[in-house]
Amino acid sequence: MKLLRYGAPEKEKPGVALPNGKRIDISEFVADVNGALLGNLDRLAIWVDANQNSAPAISLNERLGPPITGVSKLIGVGLNYAQHATEAGMTLPTEPLIFFKSTTAITGPYDNVIIPKGAMKVDWEVELAFVIGKKAQYVSREQAMDFVAGYLIHNDISEREYQFERAGQWVKGKSCDTFAPLGPYLVTKDEIGDPHRLNLWLKVNGELVQNSNTADLVFSIPEIVANISQYMTLLPGDIISTGTPFGVGFGLQPPRYLKAGDVMELGVDGLGMQRQLLVSAVH
């Protein structure tokens, strides 16, 4: 299934995109797409089968919001593609390098991305992200995929000065408002055969700048779940982003950063596409 949320920001309603492209409202089944729903996907599938012709259709013109809400944690994995670690001038971590992003950075897949006031080094990062479906603590690699409910695209937008040149942790450069476009869909696990065999790409103003495959991940999804769940409890609806491949602006010579008016387009096999316009912050 492809779960989605639609409507005005913070007033989104839940929906499903059917295989034929039609989108239907599922408000009669559930109030919103959140972690609790991920424990109930079998019943939702039955409901969709029975009600897809009578449920209200969603206009394709409706804004899509982030496809899940109530996210307790948004966790990034850094330097998880070897060629990207090289372009960043860093050595490969020996276990997953993780960082937090603020959940207030989450935004819809086609919403404008705001360049923070005074920011000069805003950069792009197409990523495969996955969503935890049930509470995970001390999970083994062998069991790990049982805790994954589905997948979605995440553009892990980053302000490189805030990330690297200010004191402290990467979180500063990852958490600005609109720095985490998610979606368009939360695609349930059953629809994606092998998540470690997906092409992912990103264009800036029509120019292909990232073009890779999740086969090149250093740490696989089971390894990431097993590792992080040793350090913290993962809850249904938590999102973990698996890292970006080679081709970010920071790695170019000279580096290239985003400015107002630029457009990013990005996609991952089976998960759809995103598109964002860069705009300046208004204060």
Q: Is 210 in the site for Zn ion (CB under 5 A)?
A: no
Alpha helices in 76-220 (DSSP H): 82-87, 160, 171-174
DSSP state of 177: T
Question: Would you give the binding string for Zn ion spanning residues 10-39, x where CB under 5 A is met?
Answer: ------------------------------
CA angle 241, 244, 245 (to 5 degrees): 150
**Helix or strand or coil: residue 240?**
strand
Select 28 or 165, whichever has its Cβ closest to Zn ion: 165
Which is closer to Zn ion, CB of 81 or CB of 147?
81
Query: Rounded to the nearest 5 degrees, what angle is found at the Cα of 157, between the Cα atoms of 279 and 2?
Result: 100
- Angstrom CA distances, 223 to 20, 80, 117, 217, stand at 35, 12, 38, 11
Which stretch, 13-21, 71-79, 165-173, 258-266, contacts Zn ion (CB under 5 A)? Answer: 71-79
Half-sphere exposure of 158 (CA within 13 A, CB side): 26
Q: Which of 125, 162, 181, 245 binds Zn ion (CB under 5 A)?
A: 125
**Contacting residue, 12, 25, 156, 238, with Zn ion by CB under 5 A:** 156
Stretch that binds Zn ion, among 16-24, 68-76, 94-102, 267-275 (CB under 5 A): 68-76
What's at 270, amino acid-wise? Answer: G
151 touches 2 (CB < 8 A) = no
| Least separation in angstroms between CB 85 and Zn ion | 12
Is residue 238 involved in binding Zn ion (CB under 5 A)? no
- 244 near Zn ion, judged by CB under 5 A: yes
Would you tell me which residues interact with Zn ion (CB under 5 A)?
Answer: 76, 125, 156, 244
